[in-house]
Amino acid sequence: MPNKNLSNLLDSAQTAQRIPVKNLSPVTSSGKIHIREQKGQLQQLRTGINGLFLALFFLLPFISYEGRQAILFDLSQQQFIFFGTTLWPQDFTILAWVFITAAFLLFFITVFWGRIWCGYLCPQTSWSFIYVWIETRIEGSRNKRYALDKAPWSVDKLKKRLLKHIAWATIALFTGCGFIAYFVPARDLYLDIFSFGASFWVTAWVWFFAICTYLNAGWMREQMCLHCCPYARFQSAMFDANTKTVTYDASRGETRGPRKRNEPSSLGDCVDCNLCVEVCPTGIDIRNGLQYECINCGACVDACNQTMNKFGYPANLISYTSENSLAGKAEPFYESYKFLAYGIAALIMVSVIAVDIYNRNSIELNVLRDRQSLYRETVDDNIENSFTLKIRNKTQQTRLYRIYVSGSNAYQLVGEANLTIKPGEQLDYPVTVLAKPELLAGTRNEITFTVAEQHNYSQISQQSSFFAPI
């Protein structure tokens, strides 16, 4: 009997400790989040940035420079063309430094504005909002879409769903073309794809990225942000007390509760309208505090300010603010060790890129000796060695070059020393070098080949060995 009373007492205590959970997430029974369309200053800013980003994404491949596509990853020729500069595989360390620098700049911005990249510039967010916009135009508002999901299949429902998915697929196909246009000539790609004249591999890659876009933006959406994106998991490690992120002012908003307009209330400013949840693309309730799912898009800020304006309350119950700001503290951001660390790291990376670009040469030279014989003696008792010079013109213009040989001995180059090399071409040029045996210091002598661009200061040198008899 005492054991039974103890068990009942424990059950009662556990029941008393349970926190009631109110399901505020606008999720259908199928698990899909239906976003309420929201307007406001931040959404106008986000739409403008997304529009600029999309315009650049689709139009950049059509920009020409010096008669060629300005930006092109030419995989068949193993070169990356960027506005007159050609990067070859051996130059891709520059791209690596660029990506590393971009990462540190992202971390640097995150210290101040949190996950702002995700809300305003991330392609996943941009395309998801485009797909939601199309869905809203065809199927109606959030409530209508929710009702359409629950409604039995009919001709009207089939028509709306078919039209929506056709629009999604069209956007996805153009997106696939837009991405591949950076790898094959853009002016021919669209015509070849839509006239079914493209090669198998080009068509396959276009459709691969089209399918990825269709699935990511149309079906997965917030699942990519919640479960697939690694940035969502580690971005909180970069936050500090001065990081401005979308935050609910609980001291002002609680205790929340509904009320009528222009009616005195002892409650907090939050009227529990739930709009901040309904407009959230990841379906969270920002009033529960900082959450890794928040992408800082500002939709809840605009929705809350809209409600505050209707009730005559001050704006920014939900706003971009920091922990110190909420607490009334004013600490300079530049005193943060994270600010210094990421800032210094970004400056170092930019310096490395600058040095790498400065030291980059527009000529590539590789000297190969003739492996069949170390040396040959001529009829006039001179010694000759044969070499093959692999010279690459890394520019996008035809260049004139001159070959020089130098060393501790009087070397003489046999053959034509002036060369013309086409853009991006690698020329295998065999040369023969003569030397008088009495001027050679030993059996193995140093020799330097220099290839210099005429009418320019660009040149490159490489050492090799000149062999002679004992």
Average pLDDT of every residue of the chain: 87
Q: Which helix (H) or strand (E) is 263 found in, with range?
A: none
> Cβ distance 434 to 378 under 8 Å?
yes
pLDDT tens for residues 184-228? 999 999 999 999 999 999 999 999 999 999 999 999 998 998 888
Mean pLDDT of the 372-386 span: 89
Q: What angle do CA 134, 139, 143 make, to 5 degrees?
A: 115
Q: Is the pLDDT of residue 280 over 70?
A: yes
Domain hosting 316: range is 19-360
Q: Residue 447 pairs with which residues in a beta bridge?
A: 407, 464
Is 126 in the same domain as 242?
yes
> Cβ distance 271 to 303 under 8 Å?
no
In the chain, the number of structural domains is 2
What are the residues whose beta carbons fall under 8 Å from the beta carbon of 372, sequence distance 6 or more? none
Is 449 in the same domain as 435?
yes
- Tell the residue number behind the tokens 């596509």, with chain if given: 69
Q: Cβ–Cβ contacts within 10 Å for residue 269, how many?
A: 17
DSSP string, 195-261: TT-S-HHHHHHHHHHHHHHHHIIIIITHHIIIII-THHHHGGGG--TT--EEEE-HHHHPSP----T
What are the residues whose beta carbons fall under 8 Å from the beta carbon of 285, sequence distance 6 or more? 24, 25, 276, 277
Q: What 8-state DSSP symbol labels residue 396?
A: S
Last residue of a domain, one of 360, 384, 419: 360
Q: Return d(Cα 65, Cα 141) in angstroms, integer.
A: 45
In a domain, 175, yes or no: yes
Mean pLDDT of the 406-419 span: 85
User: CATH number, domain at 424?
Assistant: 2.60.40.10
pLDDT-based confidence at 12, cuts 50/70/90? very low
What is the pLDDT at residue 362? 84
Is 356 in the same domain as 396?
no
Is 398 in the same domain as 327?
no
Is 221 in the same domain as 183?
yes
Burial status of residue 469 (CB atoms within 10 A of its CB: 0-12, 13-18, 19 or more): exposed
**Dihedral of CA 229/235/236/237: which sign?**
positive
Q: Residue 87 pairs with which residues in a beta bridge?
A: 80
Is 298 in the same domain as 446?
no
Most confident of 205-219, 252-266, 363-377: 205-219
What is the pLDDT at residue 63? 94
Q: What 8-state DSSP symbol labels residue 463?
A: E
**Cα-to-chain-centroid distance, residue 341:** 22
What the block records as the tokens of 293 is: 């799912």
Is 377 in the same domain as 277?
no
Mean pLDDT of the 432-447 span: 88
Question: Which tops the pLDDT comparison, 396 or 31?
Answer: 396
pTM above 0.85, yes or no: no
Is 352 in the same domain as 378?
no
Is 249 in the same domain as 178?
yes
For 12-163, strand residue ranges (E) read 64-65, 68-69, 71-74, 79-82, 85-87
pLDDT tens for residues 17-61? 333 333 444 444 446 889 999 999 999 999 999 999 999 999 999
Last residue of a domain, one of 329, 360, 391: 360
In a domain, 1, yes or no: no
Mean pLDDT of the 159-184 span: 96
Q: Return d(Cα 17, Cα 376) in angstroms, integer.
A: 96
In a domain, 4, yes or no: no
Tell whether omega for the bond before 255 is within 30 degrees of 0, i.e. cis: yes
